[in-house]
Amino acid sequence: MDKYRLANLRSWNARVPVHAASRFYDLKGFLRGRNALLPIERREVGRVKGKRLLHLQCHFGMDTLSWARLGARVTGADFSDKAIARARDLAAGTGLKADFVLSDVMRLPRALPAKGKFDIVFASYGVLCWIADMRRWMRVASHFLRPGGFLYLAESHPFTNILAMDGRTQELPYFNEGPAYFPPEYTYTDGPRKAMPPTYEWCHPMSDILGAVKAAGLRLDFLHEFPYCAWERFKGMKKGRDGFYRLPASRKSLPLLFSLKAFKK
Ligand SMILES: C[S@@+](CC[C@H](N)C(=O)[O-])C[C@H]1O[C@@H](n2cnc3c(N)ncnc32)[C@H](O)[C@@H]1O
């Protein structure tokens, strides 16, 4: 593993217990039956009953198991041993059936011998910034899909990813200029004010993401952009009744999330 992924792995392992105890992830609610998926992906992925679904970079498995609650036959994969151990415990504790695979996403085709076996490959919110090679990531997603199956991705928007928390200052490049170093910082959830190990992250402009979809032999069905976010992306955003955060009316709109669906030919 290269120094970037090793650093990121340390950071993700340190975040797992903090996230699992946070109000942000609301694990207690999940254990009482709450579905952790957002209305965006539930609506856009559609019915999953009986479908084989692979969740890339599944963290500690709450979303994966939420798809299982909706009837999907699920497999989750992540490179964090702490996350996968927690995901397996969660599956055992809830009695939901799921396979969890410990693997770097780029090596997953070797760790999980299931080429062309999935109806749906799913990934969401905070996955692409850990990826150096966008085309290779898309090829991994495509590798696991059966012809006619689809990739569904919901993610923070690359255009606004470049901005700092004030929503005005540019913090990152729009184009991929190699790994950006993030010094030790608190994680994005509530919880103990303890700095997490540093990370390296990559920026991917929309043209790289869509170019990778095409290069991986996938046919784009839709690309949606949203002027709201599932978390307080910029200071001063207000949470609406629907649970999404919006900029104050005095600000002009910005794209905060996007989603895409692409079919395997
Ligand atoms: C922000 S989380 C995904 C979020 C998910 N939507 C959630 O909130 O549960 C990012 C995940 O990517 C995983 N990850 C980062 N780099 C990875 C890599 N190279 N291979 C596999 N997993 C990776 C991390 O361990 C983490 O679980």
Kindly report, residue by residue over 228-248, the tens digit of the pLDDT.
999 999 999 999 999 999 999
Distance (Å, rounded) from C-alpha 106 to C-alpha 202?
15
Nearest Cα residue to atom 15 of ligand 1: 130
Domain that holds residue 169: 3-264
Cα(254) to centroid(ligand 1), Å: 25
Question: In this predicted structure, what is the pLDDT of residue 239?
Answer: 95
Question: In this predicted structure, what is the pLDDT of residue 203?
Answer: 98
CB atoms within 10 A of CB 181: 10
Provide the CATH number for the domain around residue 33.
3.40.50.150
Indicate if ligand 1 lies below 6 Å from the C-beta of 9: no
Indicate if ligand 1 lies below 6 Å from the C-beta of 133: no
Question: To test the ligand 1 pocket, which listed residue (25, 130, 152, 259) has its Cβ within 8 A of the most ligand atoms?
Answer: 130
**CA atoms within 13 Å, Cβ hemisphere of 171:** 17
Indicate if ligand 1 lies below 6 Å from the C-beta of 154: no
Domain count, the chain: 1
Indicate if ligand 1 lies below 6 Å from the C-beta of 15: no
Phi and psi at residue 82, in whole multiples of 5°?
Answer: -65, -40
Distance (Å, rounded) from C-alpha 91 to C-alpha 78?
15
Nearest Cα residue to atom 9 of ligand 1: 59
Question: To test the ligand 1 pocket, which listed residue (41, 45, 78) has its Cβ within 8 A of the most ligand atoms?
Answer: 78
Question: In this predicted structure, what is the pLDDT of residue 141?
Answer: 98
Q: For the chain, give me the number of helices (H) and strands (E)? A: 9, 11
Question: In this predicted structure, what is the pLDDT of residue 187?
Answer: 87
Nearest Cα residue to atom 7 of ligand 1: 59
Cα(252) to centroid(ligand 1), Å: 31
Taking 70 as the pLDDT cut, the residues of the chain under it are none
Cα(251) to centroid(ligand 1), Å: 31
**Given the CA of residue 130, which atom of ligand 1 is nearest to it?**
16
Cα(59) to centroid(ligand 1), Å: 5
| Buried-exposed string 47-78: b where 16+ CB fall within 10 A, e elsewhere | ebeebbbbbbbbbbbbbbbbbbbbebbbbbbb
